[in-house]
Amino acid sequence: MLTIWGRENSNNVRKVLWCAAELGLSYTHINAGGAFGKVNEESYRALNPNGLVPLLQDDDFVLWESNTIVRYLAAKFGDAAFYPQDLQARAAAEKWMD
């Protein structure tokens, strides 16, 4: 089960939500950060010591940093057209994220 934490008006969160939508993934979204709070709570900091959004939970696996999350989702759920297997083609796509 995928859970994406973060407020929708964050560009970095939107990037992750867009990727999940493009991949047709089912996920739970939890608003966090900004006016929604939660990021300074002990339970959230246990998941992400940086206290930032977005955060992805894939069952017991936890990731933060939007580009890392996008790469993970693309590699796990995308096909070769979405996330190239050829390293040079992949690097050419990824340079637009970083």
Number of Cβ atoms within 10 Å of the Cβ of 62: 14
The beta-strand segments (E) located in 1-54 are 2-5, 28-30
pLDDT along the chain (98 residues), means of 10: 98 97 98 95 97 98 98 94 90 87
Task: Identify the pLDDT of residue 97.
Answer: 82
Tokens 């050829």, residue?
A: 86
- CB within 8 A of 57, min separation 6: which ones? 1, 2, 3, 5, 47
- Domain limits, the chain: 2-94
Task: Identify the pLDDT of residue 93.
Answer: 86
Q: Extract the tokens encoding 89.
A: 């083609």
Q: Can you give the pTM of this predicted structure?
A: 0.92
Which homologous superfamily does the CATH classification assign to the domain defined by 2-94? Glutaredoxin (3.40.30.10)
